[in-house]
Amino acid sequence: MSTGGTTRPTLLLVHGAWHGSWCWERVTPVLDADGWTTRTVDLPSAGSPAGVRDDARAVLDALAGIDGPVVVVAHSYGGVPATQAVAEAAGVSHIVYLAAYQLDVGESLLGHHGAPAPADPGGFQAVPDHPVPLFYADAPAADAEAAAGRLVPQSTRSFGETLTAAGWHTVPSTYVVCEQDRALPPADQEQLATRSGSVHRIASGHSPFLSMPGELAGLLAKIASGTAGRAAPRT
């Protein structure tokens, strides 16, 4: 599939903590119907004691199986291993951080929030209490409850390990702020977004792939095709 005489990139969708590739099930059909090629990856830290390096390797393995340019779309924690992996990969044309951790070398998810490294990195972070209002507050109730039932414990290592490379220094990036997010506060996202070359905002909670999959797919398509422009900064 090509647009304007150029080959359309493949979109590689990277999920966040406690989730799996299943979280993109409402978005991929919309993109596919519009002629986009999508791929997903399951991060091993969701449900096993894997860390950032293991997750980055999973992203790299997924990238190795894709021909042509790739736009990596990372959600929440997924931004951490995606950032590490893109620094080591060839063929990535753009990174999209969707309410995601756009960290730098030497930073970790816990460190970003001012928390110490975990004393027991071999353990797990349980699924948060009341995940529906935290992650899916604006999604249809039945869909939110179904998604919450699929969450699994998250590796503690993944939250404490630091990055050794940051792909956004060399690969163009876009940040998508979710303005009604209750998991990663919008003000925090705005601060992280200063590291991206462009910023867009959508009126959603933490999981627009569930609450507004059509709108999210449309925005991702515009970003991937280079037609989204640059949103005006907050004043």
pLDDT for 226 beyond 90: no
Whether the Cβ atoms of residue 111 and residue 120 lie closer than 8 Å to each other? no
Percentage of the residues of the chain whose pLDDT score is greater than 90: 90
H-helix segments, the chain: 28-33, 52-64, 79-88, 109-112, 131-135, 141-148, 156-160, 186-193, 208-211, 213-225
Give 235's pLDDT tier (boundaries 50, 70, 90). very low
CA distances from 199 to 45, 202, 225, 234 (A): 28, 10, 15, 10
pLDDT for 205 beyond 80: yes
pLDDT for 9 beyond 60: yes
Q: Could you tell me which residue, 52 or 4, shows the higher pLDDT?
A: 52
Give 121's pLDDT tier (boundaries 50, 70, 90). confident
| CA separation for the pair 186, 125 (Å, rounded) | 23
What number is the average pLDDT over the span 109-130? Answer: 94
Whether the Cβ atoms of residue 59 and residue 41 lie closer than 8 Å to each other? yes
pLDDT for 129 beyond 90: yes
pLDDT for 1 beyond 50: no
Percentage of the residues of the chain whose pLDDT score is greater than 70: 94
